Amino acid sequence: MTMRPSWPGPTNGTSTTDARIDLAGLIEGTTAGVARAGLFPSNLGAIVTARSDMNVNVAAFQGAAVQFGGPVLLANDGTMQLPSVLVSPASGTNYYVVYAKQNEQTAPGTDANNLTVLGAALSTTSFALARAAMPTGALELATVQVPAGVAATNAGGVTITQTAQFTVAEGGTLPVRNSTELAAWAPADGSMAWQIDQSLIQLRVSGAWTVAGGLTPICVMRRTNATLTAPSNAYGNLSATAAWTSTGGAARGVTYSNGITITQAGWYEVFWTLWLSGSNPSGLIGVAVNASGTPGGNVLHAFGPVVAGSALSAGTARGNVYLNVGDVLTLWGYGNGATMTIEAPSTTGVEPLNWGARWVAP
């Protein structure tokens, strides 16, 4: 272990390896100080796309490869093609990994020249073996799966997947495509990532990722015209899919099938607002978590009454509950001495008859 020569520093005192190690601190990386290779996210669009021949287009990009201790900045200033076309096999499948690389002939490099190149590593078995065939220091851009008997990369059966990871300056918010890419990055606590597929901001805390913002989950289900009743002197499940719609409401980051299924853990506010029809009806409403059989009121959240009135019977309630991934919320109602019919929009117009949940905190 040693103090590395600085960059910039005294003339001829810093090797390219020293300079890269010095620069590594400017790019997001691991807790060990290893810079993260990837594309800078000025453009989140596809980098590698199909053509009407057996080549592919590689769009303009800026990125950082990592070689000999630190980052090598790369740029493509316009659409290019690979130097050699891809090949459709006589049988089976060819697996290609498209990459960019700065060749280095001077030690410690062992390349044949000092050119900046595009290339495609090939395996007839898997993408994993194609990646293993990539030259040291190459930056992966995409994979291309080519079946037998095709004459163009835009033909049916050819699959191009954008696999280039992203990188950013140290302290920046790093884009990741999905939870798999997020889980693969283990930076220092305090680092932030933007999970593109869910539009969530993720924060690294105690060595794990937790949601810190973005388009967090929310579900607001509004009444349909389907008949919906709660039984007399008993609890009944009011969550039937036919009775509720997210049209005019919201269903982001959740799924609904006879209840709300949670896909992101955290604290949630659960709520409901309902009207009743009939002769001075009254009763109780609440939200159950993972109900097995018929729950009692003592386990319901946002538990509250629907109060009978001379012109209107209505109720509303809210509550907070911690939910895990896969938990299912269901809405339950209890008719006080009579069947309790939940109003439908055909008779209440645009009044906000709804129930649901929204994420509020990790």
Percent of the chain with pLDDT over 70: 96
- The rounded distance, in Å, linking the Cα atoms of 195 and 211 is 10
Nearest-CA neighbor of 312 among 342, 281, 284?
Answer: 281
Beta bridge partners of 260: 256, 329
- The rounded distance, in Å, linking the Cα atoms of 117 and 121 is 13
Please state the separation of Cα 52 from the chain's center in Å: 32
Whether residue 147 is preceded by a cis peptide bond, meaning omega within 30 degrees of 0, is: no
17-31 pLDDT per residue, tens:
887 888 888 899 888
Phi-psi region of 92 (alpha: psi -120 to 50; beta: other; left: phi over 0): left
What is the maximal distance between C-alpha atoms in the chain?
Answer: 93
Q: Is 17 in a helix, a strand, or coil?
A: helix
Give me the pLDDT at residue 308, please: 78
- The rounded distance, in Å, linking the Cα atoms of 236 and 307 is 18
Q: Are 49 and 56 in contact (CB under 8 A)?
A: yes
Confidence of residue 272 (pLDDT cuts 50, 70, 90): very high
Give the pLDDT mean for 108-113.
90
Residue by residue, DSSP assigns 342-353 as EP-HHHHTT---
- Domains for the chain: give ranges and CATH numbers: 36-166 (no CATH), 171-215 (3.40.1620), 218-361 (2.60.120.40)
Q: Which of 5-14, 204-213, 257-266 has the lowest mean pLDDT?
A: 5-14
**DSSP H/E element including 264:** none
Give me the pLDDT at residue 179, please: 93
User: Taking the model in full, what pTM does it have?
Assistant: 0.79
Sequence-distant (6+) residues with CB within 8 A of 184 are none
